């Protein structure tokens, strides 16, 4: 058939609802991320650690029920009393903070840099998708992975402990569920927006990973130097790790003070950091770029 005989016929099939169109981005991005066997193995290892914690809770409450087994202490009662402290010291640090940070380092810097380096952004934005939906779609990839190692397993452990310890325990420790959920969401927002901002600024993935690592480490040293020189604690507001630690621990227990930062100042610093990350994304993500 000659070319001039072929007419244009618009697509007449069912259309995807507008509010779900951004989900196309995380679907393909997640497929690309999980293609790495090493990364998939790392996620599986984190899942095994959650399973180990579940078995530890199950064993603490059921081992004393075995006839003839005499234990020196009541493991179930000891776990009921120290669940919050153990969660803060073990699971929260190893899986939510360390594991989540490693996921952000591996996945985050490559989410936007490839599109920007290859000039693919106009192709995305020429379709019925806005800049906000583009960012939301890319953020959903990292946020979804981080959810698997933060509040989802945390609430699973809390629910399992509440099942064995009873309603009274859950009523007395309800703030732990708030801390697990709200603190994890704040941590996910910080890691996701920081990763996307770095990915938009640095188009080389390896350099972006180094930049993201430095973003969480270097301001802490600079802030410590300010505190040492001027005898104050305001330098800690420059450190994302100190700020997020103050906010997260306060959500668990207002009486705990991991550092000398005030809670309102920590929240204000955190809001300023997130706003700066959004400003970077707004400036760097454009369908066209003027070269002077």
**Which pLDDT tens digit goes with each residue over 69-109?**
676 677 778 888 888 888 887 888 888 888 999 999 999 88
Q: Nearest to residue 62, comparing CAs of 75, 44, 79, 78?
A: 75
CA distances in angstroms from 134 to 27, 49, 137, 146, 190, listed in the order given: 13, 33, 5, 19, 18
Q: What global pTM score does this model have? A: 0.86
Give dist(CA 276, CA 208) in Å, integer.
17
Q: pLDDT digits over 176-187, tens only?
A: 898 899 999 999
Q: Integer distance in angstroms from the first to the last C-alpha of the chain?
A: 46
| Count of other CB atoms within 10 angstroms of residue 188 | 23
- Mean pLDDT of all residues in 246-262: 84
269, 271, 186, 85 alpha-carbon torsion, rounded to 10° = 30
Give dist(CA 220, CA 235) in Å, integer.
8
Averaging pLDDT over each range in 88-92, 148-152, 251-255, 285-289, which range is the top one? 148-152
Residue recorded with tokens 């802030």: 223
């Amino acid at each position: 058939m000659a070319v001039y005989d072929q007419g244009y016929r618009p697509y007449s099939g069912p259309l995807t609802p507008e509010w779900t169109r951004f989900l196309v981005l995380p679907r393909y991005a997640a497929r690309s991320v999980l293609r790495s066997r090493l990364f998939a193995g790392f996620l599986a290892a984190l899942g095994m650690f959650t399973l180990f914690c579940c078995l530890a809770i199950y064993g603490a409450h059921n081992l004393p029920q075995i006839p003839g087994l005499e234990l020196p202490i009541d493991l179930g009662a000891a776990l009921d009393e120290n669940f919050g402290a153990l969660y803060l010291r073990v699971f929260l640090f190893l899986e939510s903070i360390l594991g989540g940070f490693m996921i952000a380092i591996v996945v985050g810097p490559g989410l936007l840099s490839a599109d920007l380096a290859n000039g693919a952004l106009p192709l995305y934005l020429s379709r019925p998708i806005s800049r906000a939906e583009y960012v939301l779609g890319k953020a959903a990839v990292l946020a979804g992975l981080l959810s698997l190692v933060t509040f989802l397993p945390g609430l699973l452990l809390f629910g399992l402990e509440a099942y064995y310890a009873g309603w009274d325990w859950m009523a007395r420790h309800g703030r732990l569920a708030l801390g697990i959920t709200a603190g994890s969401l704040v941590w996910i927002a910080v890691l996701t927006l920081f990763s996307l901002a770095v990915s938009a600024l640095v188009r080389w993935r390896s350099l972006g990973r180094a930049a993201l690592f430095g973003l969480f480490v270097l301001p802490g040293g600079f802030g410590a130097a300010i505190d040492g020189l001027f005898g104050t604690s305001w330098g800690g507001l420059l450190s994302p790790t100190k700020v997020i630690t103050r906010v997260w621990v306060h959500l668990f227990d207002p009486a705990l003070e991991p550092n000398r930062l005030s809670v309102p100042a920590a929240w204000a610093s955190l809001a300023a950091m997130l706003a700066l990350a959004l400003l970077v994304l707004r400036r760097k993500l454009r369908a066209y770029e003027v070269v002077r």
